Amino acid sequence: MKQKGVVLDGTTYRSYRDGKVLRFMAGGARHLQLYKAPWVVIHRADYLEILVETAKLLGVDIQLNAIIKHIDFEKTVVHFADGKVLAADVIVGADGKQQVLGFQAHCS
Ligand SMILES: Cc1cc2nc3c(=O)[nH]c(=O)nc-3n(C[C@H](O)[C@H](O)[C@H](O)COP(=O)(O)OP(=O)(O)OC[C@H]3O[C@@H](n4cnc5c(N)ncnc54)[C@H](O)[C@@H]3O)c2cc1C
């Protein structure tokens, strides 16, 4: 993250009308103190690459183009669009804003 990203000292928000400072959000030492981590700005592609590489290092099996159609929460089984079925001890839904899985979990 530190190699690819930029650690911020802070961000200044200014009025588009006259450039007047509206707000300053402190990064640097203040951020470290509050969150025990630096405030880093990083390109999304670099960030995703770091996540993917770290997951692989930890032994995660990444399967692309695997669209989930349905989850059977009783049997903890995932049904994919291509007909494949996968059983797991734990299923973590991370399908973002569409929330197909979250919606299904909420309704079941
Ligand atoms: C323009 C924009 C700028 C942003 N800027 C920032 C920022 O600067 N900093 C920040 O912290 N956040 C930012 N965000 C918010 C951030 O992108 C989201 O909060 C974050 O990506 C959410 O992560 P997620 O894993 O929940 O969902 P997502 O990143 O949306 O990932 C969901 C994944 O699930 C997959 N998926 C969906 N449905 C299924 C299905 N049925 N089967 C299989 N896979 C499925 C999708 O293809 C996708 O890959 C920004 C968002 C936008 C739109």
The verdict on the CB of residue 98 being under 6 Å from ligand 1 is yes
Tell me the Ramachandran region of residue 33: left when phi exceeds 0, alpha when psi lies from -120 to 50, beta otherwise.
alpha
Pocket test for ligand 1, best of 95, 100, 103 (most atoms within 8 A of CB): 95
Both structure tokens of 10: 């802070």
The verdict on the CB of residue 50 being under 6 Å from ligand 1 is no
The verdict on the CB of residue 40 being under 6 Å from ligand 1 is no
The confidence score (pLDDT) of residue 106 equals 63
Quick check: 43 and 79 in contact, CB under 8 A?
Answer: no
**Mean pLDDT of each 10-residue bin along the chain, 108 residues long:** 92 97 93 93 96 96 91 91 94 78 64
List residues bridging with 40 in a β-sheet: 7
The confidence score (pLDDT) of residue 15 equals 98
The confidence score (pLDDT) of residue 6 equals 95
